[in-house]
Structure 1
Amino acid sequence: MTDAQPDPAVPPTLQDDKTMPIIVYACYIAGWVTGISPVIGVILAYVSKATAPEWLQSHYVFQIRTFWLSLLGGLLGVLTLIIGIGALILVAVGIWVTVRAIVGLQWLLKGEAYPTPRNWML
């Protein structure tokens, strides 16, 4: 019985590289200032998802869903601006995205998969 040791001649894979999901979460938070950075973030999430290990894929699924749900909420906010509640909806969507990004970052920095990536709330 032998212990399976990694071969030192083979470079380590990026199994635990948290850089890209951190960048995506940062893009979502920066959306308050830039407006366009969440689009960059979702593109990065789509590109990175396929080659990521399963635990990181949960973060990418969460990030992708966050983008599309926020786009839906933002559209609802814009359409209801004329009746006076749109601004409140837009601010609520921005807060919702920021909270989701912060919670996602917390799970990511602990090195854990996001537990419920397909939920609407958290």
Structure 2
Amino acid sequence: MSDQTQISVDPNTQGNANLIYILYLVSLVVGITGIVGVIMAYLAKGKGNSVLESHYNNQINIFWKFFLYMVIGLILAIVVIGVLIMLAAVVWYIIRVVQGMQALSAGQPIANPGSWLL
């Protein structure tokens, strides 16, 4: 049994947060869905319980940090380090999104949505 507190999340509002995570994963193939997802997260922010708020904050942070990592990687792409930064950013992005989806399905908040690492 987990020592973390589980808070009941309304399935209707949980679906919106889950959809945003899915849009983020799809954005790796179809880039525009990430922008749609972050707009949805901004619109939903402030309208849910504390668990959902942590997920919306996490989603907004994931989007902007991934964007920053990719811009830095593109700037440095003339040297090999830029490509490595972009590859690391994609791996980081996938891990953060999957961790968020797992926590959401378990009804748990994101422990540190502002984290720059995993």
Superposition TM-score tier, normalisation by shorter sequence: 0.7 to 0.9
Q: Are 1:37 and 2:33 counterparts?
A: yes
Deviation at 1:120, TM superposition (A): 1.2
Q: Are 1:111 and 2:80 counterparts?
A: no
Q: Are 1:71 and 2:58 counterparts?
A: no
Amino acid in the other structure paired with 2:59: Q
- Structure 1 gaps of 5+ residues are 1-14
After superposition, residues 72-111 of structure 1 pair within 5 angstroms as 72-111=68-107
- Aligned to 1:50, what secondary structure does the other structure show? coil
Deviation at 1:31, TM superposition (A): 1.6
Deviation at 1:105, TM superposition (A): 0.5
Q: CA RMSD for the aligned pairs?
A: 1.2
Q: Which has the higher contact order (CA 8 A, sep 6+)?
A: 2
Residue-pair matches, total: 108
Greater Rg by CA: 1
Please identify runs of 4+ aligned residues in structure 1 that moved more than 6 A. Answer: none
TM-score (norm. length: structure 2): 0.86
- Structure 2 gaps of 5+ residues are 1-8
Amino acid in the other structure paired with 2:62: T
Deviation at 1:90, TM superposition (A): 1.3
TM-score (norm. length: structure 1): 0.83
Q: Are 1:121 and 2:117 counterparts?
A: yes
